[in-house]
Amino acid sequence: MRKIFEFIFNEILYNGHLQTIGSLSVVIFSSLLFDIQVTWDLLLILYLNFYIIYLYNRYQEINIDYLTNKERTEHLLKFKKYIPAVIIILLACLIALLIYFADFSFIIFIAAITVFGFLYTVFFKKLTKHIIIFKNIYVAAFFALLVIYPFIYYDLPFKSMLTYIVPLVIFVFLRAVSMQLILDLKDIKSDQGEGLLTLGVLWGRERALKALMTLSFLVAGLGPLIMVVLLDFPASAIAMTLLLLFDFYIIDLIKKESPLAYILESGEFIIWPVLILLGDKII
């Protein structure tokens, strides 16, 4: 029984589930701000979609990850031979759910997300050898698109909401870029070995952390204020400025070389709906 619980714990911690739950959290966050009722079918489709992409990435990079993610690699090696079958089964479940619940436009949208998610691992990530922080921008774009998932899935008016959608997409994108840059700091050695031009490789950890703290002030500090004061977002969005405290804590943990920093950072989006609900109660 102990081994089963240990396996489940490691699976959640190391195999993309935190990031996948984070993707659901961005959709819920967006829905709270736009007062959209999200249903379980969209969340399940989204979970399968992102988890499949993460699992494929982990499987393809299992040998590279051993340099900087030993625990994760050792966990994946326990069932490596089953991963292709798991991916196929999950893809079949995703297709079945899409056929039953979604319309044609959303099916095409998810198909494109899945294909480009797979292509990240086999093609687009390698472009970071030539384009600085390209992989960070690429991954962040996937998270930014989550803002519009409810609009596409429920076929809601889109053009009339662009004044609000565009700033929110930009906010999520910049926070996602920051997240990916922070997570890269644990992979400096493997990224150097692959010749990737990440911020950590180019600037080193200390200088990169200073740049990320500046980005935090601009995005988490000023972003919510601009959205509420100038763009008439719900006042509850002010609570997103508390992400500054989260960033201070993460950076402090990184300076102390604590692995907890990267675990917490990978799950940052999970606290976003909590902050909105907190802001709604207080403000």
Q: Which of 89-98, 137-146, 152-161, 263-272 has the lowest mean pLDDT?
A: 152-161
Given a cut of 80, whether residue 152 has pLDDT beyond it is yes
Q: How many domains does the chain have?
A: 1
- Banded pLDDT at 5 (limits 50, 70, 90): confident
pLDDT at 170: 96
Residues 6 or more apart whose Cβ sits within 8 Å of residue 261:
182, 250, 251, 253, 254
Q: What is the mean pLDDT of the chain?
A: 89
Query: Where residue 16 sits, what CATH number does that domain have?
Result: 1.10.600
Q: For residue 62, what are the domain limits?
A: 2-282
Report the pLDDT value the prediction gives residue 172, as an integer from 0 to 100.
Answer: 97
- The answer, yes or no, to whether residue 65 has pLDDT greater than 70, is no
Q: pLDDT exceeding 90 applies to what percent of the chain?
A: 63
CB contact set of 159 (below 8 Å; sequence gap of 6+): none
* Residue type, position 203, single letter: W
What value does the mean pLDDT take over residues 108-121? 94
Residue 96 has pLDDT above 80, yes or no: yes
pLDDT-wise least confident of 53-67, 147-161, 223-237: 53-67
| Whole-angstrom distance, CA of residue 144 vs CA of residue 247 | 19
- Over residues 23-36, mean pLDDT: 95
Sole residue written with tokens 């959290």: 25
* Residue 94 scores a pLDDT above 90: yes
pLDDT level of residue 201 (50, 70, 90 thresholds):
confident
Q: What's the Cα-to-Cα distance from 35 to each of 8, 38, 156, 160, rounded to whole Å? A: 34, 9, 12, 15
Query: What average pLDDT score do residues 98-125 get?
Result: 94
